[in-house]
Each structure stands twice: as C-alpha cells, then as structure tokens.
Structure 1
Amino acid sequence: MHRNPNDPKAVFGGAIVVFARRWRMFIDEKLAESGLTDASWTPLIYLHRLGDGLLQKELAAASGLDESSLVRLIDILSQRGLLERRIDPDDRRARRLYLTDDGRQTAAAIRLQLVALENELLADFSDGDVAAVLGICEGVEAKIEKAKSEIKARG
C-alpha cells in the first residue's frame, strides 16, 4: 500500500528530523556566546535538571546522547571545571557526575537563555498546541521504546 506523499503521517518523521536539526542549530547559534556547543551544553543542562549523582549511562539515556560521545563531552566539561566525576561508594567501577558551583551557575544561565528562546519561538502557539505536539512526540517515543524492547527480547 502506497501512501500519499502529502499525507501528514507520510512526512512526519522527515519533518521532525529537519525541524529538530534547525531548532538545535538556532539554539546553538544563540548560545554560542556562552562558549558551549549544543553537544556540550546538553549534558550540562540535563545534569542540572535531573540532579547530581547520575551515572554516565543514566545521563546518556536521559539526554539521548551516545555513551561514547558523552565520555568526550564529560572530559571537556570536566576540564572547564563545570562538572566532576566521583567514584560511586557502592560500586568503585562506576563514576557519578556532579556539577561544580561554576557548572551550576553556567547551567542556570543557559536554562534562562533556553526558556527565553523557546518562549520567543513558541509565542504564536497556544499552550494546548504545544502540549499536543509534545503528547504526539511522547507517544511515538513510547512506541519506539516498546519496539526496541521487543527486538532486544527476540535476541
């Protein structure tokens, strides 16, 4: 069965990918003055939002970043004095992530900038419209996670 290429469901995935790239590029350009790229401010923001003490793999899962890429970003943020790794007292092989005071201040400032930029970009849309889009994205994401779990279970 062929779907009409003008059908919104037929173009949804591609449109979301393009939208996400453009959104991130715009935000990245606006935040460039902070000296952080999108890739490096993303883990900082998620750690600030979710709280100190996350494992690297937890931060990777929450932020959608690849674990191997995240290692390099954590190194950069650590070298800049924005976060630190600490040995997990319950598992000496594991490292937990903590924002430094500078990291907390930087993340808070970036979050304020993000809120202002998001408000600017979404100003013409109602809260209901935005909530509806978020609901669709969350629903699709749940289906993706379910499908991935089923594939993994089949081995």
Structure 2
Amino acid sequence: MARDDLGAMVARLGRRLLAMEQPILARHGVSMWAYVVLNGLAGGSVRTQAALAARIGADKTRLIPVLDDLQERGLIEREPDPADRRVRLLALTDSGREVHRVVRDEIRTAEEALLEGLAPADREAFVRALVTLS
C-alpha cells in the first residue's frame, strides 16, 4: 500500500494540532511557547533557565522574553537558589498551575475529539507510539 512519508504525515498532523490548539491558547492569553514553558515547569521546579531550555528544546536566549512575560503575569517565579545565589530556581505559581491545568484539559478534550474516529485500542497504541518516538 502506497503512503506518504512519515515526515509528511506528521507535518500535516502537527499543523492540524497547532490550528486546534491556537484558539484555546488565545482564549487564555497564552502563547504556544508560554504553554511549552508551563508544561516544562509542571513537573516541578527547574534549577536554571538553561536547564529549562534543554528540557523543552528551546534556545535559552529566545526563552527569556517568554519567562519575563510569565513572571510579570504571576504565572511563574524565579527565586534565588539558597545554595547558589547566582542561580534562579524557576517554578509555577498557583496561578500558573491553574492556567496550565485549564489549558491542558481543554487541549486534551480537543485531542480526544480528534482521535474519536479511531478505535480505543488504536488510540492507545497511537499515543503510546508518539510517547516512545518523541
């Protein structure tokens, strides 16, 4: 059976997912990069901006304006590390955790609607494969 290359299919799916997520993010006043940062911090604090950049696959110099905006909005905090005052610990605030939860839940609901055409076992296999490959 002839099919497109994986890259072509993943690119189309990626564009579709981004288009699906954009209105959700806009409704909550969060950019895609801001959401990526919130996701990156959802698992716990990160010791440095460089460590966060590595965790989320971003250029640390491009990350600073996103962090500044999130901090100004009270969604993250950057506190001096008691063990090394030159280092800033990054963490979600309570408001940041709430924004992340609400946006993530809406995105997951939209993802479920997208995947509803697949049988439940296929859905689970698809998500498992994405987790493994990503």
| Category of TM-score, reference length = shorter chain | 0.7 to 0.9
Partner amino acid, structure 2, of 1:61 = A
| C-alpha RMSD over aligned residues | 2.4
For 1:58 and 1:47, the matched residues in 2 are separated by 11
Corresponding residue for residue 116 of structure 1 = 109
Q: Percent identity of the aligned residues?
A: 31
Partner amino acid, structure 2, of 1:71 = I
For 1:138 and 1:70, the matched residues in 2 are separated by 24
Matched, 1:106 2:103: no
Show the 5 A alignment for 1:66-145.
66-141=59-134
Change (3 A) 1:115 1:75: same
Encode CA deviations 1:62-116: one digit per residue, 9 max, x unaligned.
3233322222211110111111111222333321111112112211211221221
How many aligned residue pairs are there? 134
Corresponding residue for residue 57 of structure 1 = 50
Show the 5 A alignment for 1:20-39.
20-39=14-33
CA contact (8 A) 1:47 1:54 kept: no
Structure 1 residues without counterparts, runs of 5 or longer: 1-5, 142-155
Higher RCO, 1 vs 2 (CA within 8 Å, ≥6 residues apart) = 2
